[in-house]
Amino acid sequence: MHHAEAAGRLSAHELQNARLGLWLFIVSEAALFSAFIAARYLNLGTSRPEELNQLLGLGITGVLLLSSLTAYRAETCIAHGDRPGFLRNVLWTVLLAGVFLVGVVVEWVEGFHYFPPSTRYGTSFFSLTGLHGLHVLSGALLLLGVYLHGRRGRYGPGDYWPVEGAVKYWHFVDVAWVFIYPTLYLVG
């Protein structure tokens, strides 16, 4: 048994495999989002309804970008042994995820009124924001798990793959929104 395994850590080789596996998973997820985005353009071209709440769309975009910064800070802090900084930033990320989801709920309430799911734009809007919202929820739950383990003293420099994995997934959720936001709100 390697020293790394005995300590409960991943060896360099295992860590590299884990990273590659996560990236492959992210690529497959990107393909799924790409299909939904392509369907929007195929069904509607570049048209969009005037009733979209542009301010809310921009606001939740800012919230998600900020959550990527806090997620980055959390990973960087634990990599350098700063546990309080790690815990604080993970918690901020989860809170910002909650704010984003509240924003999506508000969007949905307005959307049901102006462009219900039975309309062509509504189909794209609700399927894209719903798919993305589920990813935000799962990412937030992952980060919450990381936070709870971190509070119990898990992770440290050289032993933080679960943090890195959850944070990478969170950044992917942000990247997906980078394309969804202009697709739903700006094009047209």
Partner 1 sequence: MRPDRLAEKLRLGGRVFGALVVLTAVEWFAARWPGALLWLTVIALGKTALIAEYFMHYSQLVRPEE
The burial class, CB within 10 Å (0-12 / 13-18 / 19+), for 148 is exposed
Quick one: 10 or 104, whose CB is closer to partner 1? 10
Distances (CA, A) of 133 to 9, 99, 158: 32, 12, 32
In angstroms, give the least distance from the CB of 125 to partner 1: 17
Binding site for partner 1 (CB under 8 A): 12, 15-16, 19-20, 23, 46, 58, 61-62, 65-66, 68-69, 71-73, 76-77, 80-82, 157, 168, 171-172, 174-175, 178-179, 181-182, 186-187
Quick one: 65 or 148, whose CB is closer to partner 1? 65
In angstroms, give the least distance from the CB of 118 to partner 1: 26
Give the phi and the psi of residue 139 in degrees, each rounded to 5.
-65, -40
Quick one: 154 or 168, whose CB is closer to partner 1? 168
- Picking from 171, 155, 144, the residue whose alpha carbon sits closest to that of residue 82 is 155
Quick one: 71 or 136, whose CB is closer to partner 1? 71
In angstroms, give the least distance from the CB of 158 to partner 1: 12
The burial class, CB within 10 Å (0-12 / 13-18 / 19+), for 140 is buried
